[in-house]
Chain A
Amino acid sequence: MHGTAHVKFILSKQKTSLNKLHGNEVIDATNKGDQSNMGNCIRAVLRKFRRKPRNEKNIVILFVGLDGAGKSLILNRIVGDLEQNVVPTMGFRTISLKHKSCNVKVYDLGGSPQIRSIWPRYYNDVHGLVYVVDASDTSRLTENRIILGDLISHENVSGKPLLLLANKQDLDGALDELDLVENLDVERVANEMRCPTRVETCSCFYAMTKSQKSTEGIINGYKWLLNTIMKNYQTLNSQVKSEPPIRNGFSVRSITSSPTPSKTESMNSDPFKPIHSLLKQNKLSGSSNCVKNGTNGKIIPLRRLLATCTNKTTPMPIEDRAEEPDLALQRTDCDSTIFQVAENNRQETVILNPLKLKPGVTNTRPFTAPDNFSRIKTEVTIPTIQDQR
Chain B
Amino acid sequence: MYHYLWSLLFWYFRPLIKWFLHRTTQMCELQRICYGEPAGARRILAVEESLRNSRNPDIKTLVLYLDGVSDRREITTKSERGILEEAIRTVLVAKKINPVAHPDFAKSFGKCVELIWGYRQLCIHVEELRRTAYDADNAEHELMLLKLWNLLMPHEPLEGRVTKQWQDIGFQGDDPKTDFRGMGILGLENLVYFAQEFPNAAKHVLLHSIHPRYGYAFAIVGINLTSMALRLLRDGSAKTHVYNAVKTLPTVRVFHQFYCYLMYEFDRLWIESKPSNMMEFSTIQEKFENSIRILLNNPKTVFRVNISVDNV
Residues of A participating in the B interface, judged by any CB pair closer than 8 Å:
67-68, 85-88, 90-94, 110-115, 118, 121
Known contacts A86-B182, A113-B172, A114-B217, A91 near B280 by CB under 8 Å: yes
Q: Quick check: B279 and A115 within 8 Å, CB to CB?
A: yes
6 A-B pairs besides A68-B178, A68-B179, A87-B220 with CB distance below 8 A are A67-B179, A68-B181, A87-B183, A90-B224, A114-B172, A118-B279
- Chain A CB within 8 A of B43 CB: no
Q: Is the interface of B mostly helix, strand, loop or mixed?
A: helix
CB distance from A115 to the nearest CB of B (A): 5
Name the interface size band of chain B: 20 to 34
Residues of B within 8 A of A90 (CB): 216-217, 220-221, 224, 278, 281-282, 285
Which residue from chain B places its CB closest to the CB of A112 in the assembled complex?
Answer: B172
Known contacts A68-B173, A93-B282, A118-B278, A112 near B182 by CB under 8 Å: no
Q: Quick check: B279 and A112 within 8 Å, CB to CB?
A: no
- Chain A CB within 8 A of B311 CB: no
Which residue from chain A places its CB closest to the CB of B276 in the assembled complex?
Answer: A118
Residues of B participating in the A interface, judged by any CB pair closer than 8 Å:
130, 167, 172-173, 178-179, 181-183, 187, 216-217, 220-221, 223-224, 226-227, 277-282, 285
Residues of A within 8 A of B216 (CB): 90
Residues of B within 8 A of A92 (CB): 279, 281-282
Residues of B within 8 A of A112 (CB): 172-173, 217, 220
CB distance from B270 to the nearest CB of A (A): 11
Which 6 residue pairs are nearest across A and B when measured between Cβ atoms?
A: A91-B281, A112-B172, A67-B172, A87-B182, A85-B182, A90-B281
Q: Quick check: B167 and A88 within 8 Å, CB to CB?
A: no
Residues of B within 8 A of A67 (CB): 172-173, 178-179
CB distance from B180 to the nearest CB of A (A): 9
Q: Quick check: B281 and A88 within 8 Å, CB to CB?
A: no
Which residue from chain A places its CB closest to the CB of B281 in the assembled complex?
Answer: A91
CA distance A67 to B182 in the complex (A): 13
Q: Quick check: B173 and A91 within 8 Å, CB to CB?
A: no
CB distance from A113 to the nearest CB of B (A): 7
Q: Quick check: A87 and B167 within 8 Å, CB to CB?
A: no
Partner of A88, one of B130, B224, B277, B280: B224
Q: Quick check: A113 and B167 within 8 Å, CB to CB?
A: yes
Residues of B within 8 A of A121 (CB): 279
